Amino acid sequence: MSTPALKDWPLWEVFVRSKQGLEHKHCGSLHAADAAQALRLARDVYTRRQEGVSIWVVPSAAITASNPDDKAELFDPAADKIYRHPSFYDLPDDLGNM
């Protein structure tokens, strides 16, 4: 990340894995001067009650997000493809679980 004129501490997004076997989940953001400090602060701000076993921090500016105006274009096409779901298929009851 290029930070030519840092006036304030930059913003970081924090992701916490709550326990082994689960994914890291976004839980908030914080300001820190660098990645190491962001990790230390995330530990104090977001895991005071054993909420996590692992933390990721990502510079917020490094995240590319989809545009909310594109919501329909991006996500609506999936709405009419109900054959992607198992419940679309009618099968005889005596087949049991499939």
Binding track over 16-35 against another protein, x by CB under 8 A: ----------xxxxxxxxx-
Smaller CB separation from another protein, 19 or 31: 31
Residue (of 48, 44, 53, 61) closest to 16 by Cα position: 53
Triad 58, 72, 90: Cα angle to 5°:
105
Residue ranges of the alpha helices (H) in 1-98? 35-46, 71-75
**Residues of this chain, 57-96, that bind another protein according to CB under 8 A:** 59-61, 63, 65, 67-68
| Binding-site ranges for another protein (CB under 8 A) | 3, 5-9, 11, 13, 26-34, 37, 44-45, 48-49, 59-61, 63, 65, 67-68
